[in-house]
Amino acid sequence: MALSIATVWTRCVTVLFVFSAMWGIALSINRYSIPEEMQEGSVVANLATDLGLDLRTLITRKAKLDIIHRNKYLDINKETGDLFILEKIDREYICSSKTTSCFLKMDVIFENPIRIFNIELEIMDINDNAPVFRRETMHLDISESTAAGERFSLTNAVDADVGANSIKTYYLSESKSFTIDIQTGSDGSKYVDLVLNSNLDREEQAVHNLILTAVDGGVPARSGTASIIVRVLDINDNAPFFNQPIYAINVTENSPIGTLVMTLNATDLDEGTNAEMIYSYTLYTSEKTQEKFSLNSNTGEMKVKDVIDFEESHSFDIYIQARDQGSNSLSGDCKIMVFITDLNDNYPEVTIKSFKSTLKEDVAIGTLIAVISISDRDSGDNGEVELTLNQQTSLPFVLNKSSEDYFALHVSEPLDRETIPRYEITFIVTDKGTPRLSDNETITLEILDVNDNSPIFPQSFYTIHVVENNVPGALLTSLSAFDPDLHENQYLVYFIMEKEIINTSMSMLFSINPENGNLYALKTFDFEREREFLFHIEARDSGVPPLNSNVTVHIIILDQNDNTPLIVSPWRAQGSVIEEVIPRSTDKGFLVAKVIAIDADSLQNSRVTYQLLQISDSSLFSLDQYNGEIRTTRMFSYRDPRHQRLVVVAKDNGDPALSATVTIKISTVEHMVTPFSETTEVPLEYDLFTDLNLYLVIGLGSVSFLLLITILVVIVLKCQKPKPMKMPPAMNMNLNSLNRNSVISRNSIISQRSSTIADSTLISSDAYWYSLFLAETRKGKVVVRQPIVPKGAGYFVSSIPRSTGPTETSDSRASTLQYSK
């Protein structure tokens, strides 16, 4: 028996020794803050980094998380060292709904050797609860003799959220007789009274139905409603009242449960049931207060109901209502202010006396940042405290003791805002009591920027391709530079470095947005006139002194198929038809005409090919798609019509392709007119009336003489006979043959052009109307086409020998003049 007692005593001593040793190895408290309702698996922090431990240590030393709660909300990923959410955390479930701060305490325990790290996880509130009334329907009985201005307590709404997410205000539905008055308790709770605006008349309206809405301060705001039913009763005109409206009571913290606080005694001047009173809390009294104190509704005794902690609340405001038992009960209210007397159980405190919240990054070493004082209201060892900095990360600061209980924080290393823009500095104060109590204070030091970085472009040279015919003002590109500095040192201004091209400034061709670097074209570019531009863009910050950098921009204009092929041969007035006359006796392969088109575009867009769009007889003519030559594919037969019509399309190689067309009317004749041997050009004389008179006599012989005279007069007026001119004898010999063939070519313009176009040269820039084309005819002649001929000029046949064929005078503005080579 004695041996067993000794063994037990030895084990107890060992346990006590281990317990005291574990207190010594618990290092410091790490605090983190997260919002409630975070998703499972979310990472809170990396404990390996924060605790300064190697990842392998988490496995070899069997790290485990001990949460001081019945649910295991978090766990440690031993492979990564992350502290992550294992189960969604509901702040309202863990902490009291009116507690401003909510902490979840846990220990990280390591073995071999044993080390304990204390962790406090602050659960921050989110607006996930809407205000809820404890009673969805409130019934109020109001006497009709109640004077205007009377106030009635309403059931206040409760919101499980705290702070800004708690109840912000109340709204009452529209009513002529009632309004509400909102008041704020010492703990910040909102209470609402129903106020009577005017006297009630039960006979006029016995019941008033109102809607009370409570709205919280969250974003977005949530709300809850309750129905208020006011019944107007007959008179019970004496309400209970207390001896004084406000009572002040002192209660020591940690008072035993059941301790009597005070006994209420209200007076009612009425008799009978109207004088019998029931005591109750009004809606101004918070639920937290009602949990701390109990109230006997019959005797009015108020007692301590729960543990009272001075550090939790220094005072309580209790609102009591005494209501009589009359048919139309009346009530009286009083306020009890309970002040809590403190005991000696205080933690050490750290106070920031002065603090520079901002510091320039080029500040000198040794600059003073903050002055800190420490204190503890306890005495003895419990009142002796020491101050340290958090050593989780290396800080470029040093803590020096300046006087008793005062410390100064100085800069110990150069600062660089671009590397670390902000420092979280935690001061940890710990007393020497048993157990050791500690507190901490964290300050945030913002490092201010100085202009020590020049703007940086992503690349030093930009090549921008712009398709011609762009819209003026079109965005070409964005030349954004980056400056790692802040504020005005980071604000960049872009501009074009001036350069003139052919007396034109770059700023007249391009524009850059000075704020964001967007480069715009100010004009429409034409590839045929301008091909590229080279200039510089400068980015300058707004620091003092300003820093800058520049970039080279190369604008390349790309061609677009914006020019339609222009048919320059055979030339014709716009909308007119080209007429060609060839003998019917031509052989296969005879060159009828050659179509030449030019295109102002470049490369593929200027390559022109030719196709037959329409043809009267596809077996008679062929078209070379590359040189535009139209040739006969066989000899004419007696079945072939005398007139053939061809539509030739000249199409470029652009996308989409552009094209132009020309219509060629080909007339065939049996014999061509034999030219005169003399060089003098004379108009042709036609015998217009010989055959016509014969036809008129035969056709109109049965018509009366008067009608015949009328018709002859009209014919004479319409068909004036040309004035005869003296002709050579050879001309007279051919007139009869000419008259027989004149019917074929009369009233049409026959262009005696049977030439093979060999080359074309554009003489003027006005290519549409003034161009000179050189061609070699089948007889060795040169044809010169001129687009403008004075109006009224006739069509002359040169006396230079040519193949014979029908000819007549024409009023065409185009002419073909023939000269010897």
pLDDT in tens, 602-636: 777 888 889 888 888 888 888 888 888 889 888 88
Q: Report the 10 Å Cβ neighbour count for 678.
A: 13
**Arithmetic mean of pLDDT, 563-588:** 80
Looking at the chain, the domain(s) classified CATH 2.60.40.60 span 30-124, 132-233, 241-341, 349-448, 461-558, 566-669
The token pair that represents 293 in the structure block: 């104190």
Query: Which of 173-187, 361-375, 383-397 is predicted with the least confidence, judged by mean pLDDT?
Result: 383-397
- Residues with Cβ within 8 Å of 704's Cβ and at least 6 positions away in sequence, in order, are none
Of 44-48, 210-214, 460-464, which range is least confident? 44-48
Do residues 190 and 183 lie in contact, with contact meaning Cβ atoms separated by under 8 Å? yes
Q: Say how far apart CA 339 and CA 315 lie, in whole Å.
A: 4
As a three-state string, the secondary structure of 764-792 is CCCCCCCCEEEEEECCCCEEEEECCCCCC
Predicted pLDDT of residue 770 = 30
Which top CATH class is 241-341? mainly beta
Per-residue model confidence as pLDDT tens digits over 514-573: 999 999 999 888 888 888 899 999 999 988 889 999 999 999 988 888 788 888 888 776
State the CB neighbour count (10 A cutoff) for residue 580: 21
pLDDT score recorded for residue 252: 86
Q: Which residues contact 368 (CB under 8 A, 6 or more apart)?
A: 356, 408, 409, 410
Q: What is the pLDDT of residues 53-92, one digit of tens each?
A: 888 888 888 888 887 766 788 888 888 888 888 888 888 7
pLDDT: is 688 or 323 the higher one?
A: 323
Higher-pLDDT residue of 755, 380? 380
User: Rounded distance, CA 683 to CA 643, Å?
Assistant: 26
Among residues 777, 680, 779, 692, which one has the least CA distance to residue 730?
A: 680
User: Under 8 Å CB-to-CB from 639, ≥6 apart: which residues?
Assistant: none
Helix axes 690-699, 705-718, angle to 10 degrees: 150
Contacts of 594 (CB under 8 A, 6+ apart): 569, 570, 627, 628, 629, 630, 756, 757, 775
**Residue 321 predicted with pLDDT over 90:** yes
Distance of CA 587 to the CA centre of its chain: 74
- pLDDT score of 2: 37
Reduced to 3 states (helix: H, G, I; strand: E, B; else coil), residue 743 is helix
* Mean pLDDT along residues 696-703: 60
Question: How buried is 445 (Cβ within 10 angstroms: 0-12 exposed, 13-18 middle, 19+ buried)?
Answer: buried
| Confidence at residue 382, expressed as pLDDT on a 0 to 100 scale | 65
Q: Write down the mean pLDDT value for the chain.
A: 76
Please, are residues 671 and 805 in contact by the beta-carbon 8 Å criterion? yes
pLDDT at residue 371, rounded to an integer: 93
Q: What architecture is the 566-669 domain classified under in CATH? A: Sandwich (2.60)
What's the rounded mean pLDDT across residues 343-356? 83
Say which residue the tokens 């409630």 belong to: 36
- pLDDT-derived band at 575 (thresholds 50, 70, 90) equals low
pLDDT at 236 > cutoff 60: yes
What H or E segment, with its residue span, contains residue 388?
strand 385-389
The 8-class DSSP code of residue 442 comes to E
Closest CA to 519 of 462, 456, 468, 455: 462
pLDDT of residue 53: 81
What distance in Å separates the CA atoms of residue 268 and residue 376, rounded to the nearest whole number?
52
Positive or negative, the CA dihedral 715, 720, 724, 730 is negative
Domain 132-233 architecture: Sandwich (2.60)
Residue 394 has pLDDT above 50, yes or no: yes
- Looking at this protein, which amino acid is placed at residue 70? R
Q: So what's the pLDDT on residue 28?
A: 64
Say whether pLDDT at 135 is over 70.
Answer: yes
Question: Parallel, antiparallel, or unpaired for β 331-341 and 315-324?
Answer: antiparallel
Query: Could you tell me if 620 and 588 are in contact, meaning their C-beta atoms sit under 8 angstroms apart?
Result: no
* CATH architecture for residues 30-124: Sandwich (2.60)
Q: Given this model, what pLDDT does residue 8 score?
A: 33
User: pLDDT tens for residues 143-193?
Assistant: 878 889 899 888 888 887 777 788 889 999 998 989 999 988 877 788 899
d(CA 66, CA 118): 10
pLDDT of residue 790: 33
Percentage of residues of the chain with pLDDT beyond 70: 76
DSSP 488: G
The CATH code of domain 349-448 reads: 2.60.40.60
User: Does 820 score more than 50 pLDDT?
Assistant: no
The pLDDT-based confidence of 13 (bands split at 50, 70, 90) is: very low
Q: Which CATH class is domain 461-558?
A: mainly beta
Question: What SS3 class is residue 255?
Answer: coil
CA pair distance 208, 49, nearest whole angstrom: 65
CA atoms within 13 A on the CB side of 821: 9
Query: Angle at the Cα of 635 (from 634 to 640), degrees rounded to 5?
Result: 105
CA atoms of 125 and 795, how far apart (whole Å): 103
Residue entry with tokens 């040519």: 802
Farthest CA pair distance, the chain: 175
More confident residue, 753 or 600: 600
Given a contact cutoff of 8 angstroms between Cβ atoms, the answer to whether 46 and 80 are in contact is yes
How do strand 609-615 and strand 643-651 relate by DSSP bridges?
A: antiparallel
H or E, element range at 736: helix 729-745
Position 672 confidence tier, pLDDT thresholds 50, 70, 90: low
The neighbouring-strand residues paired with 548 are: 540
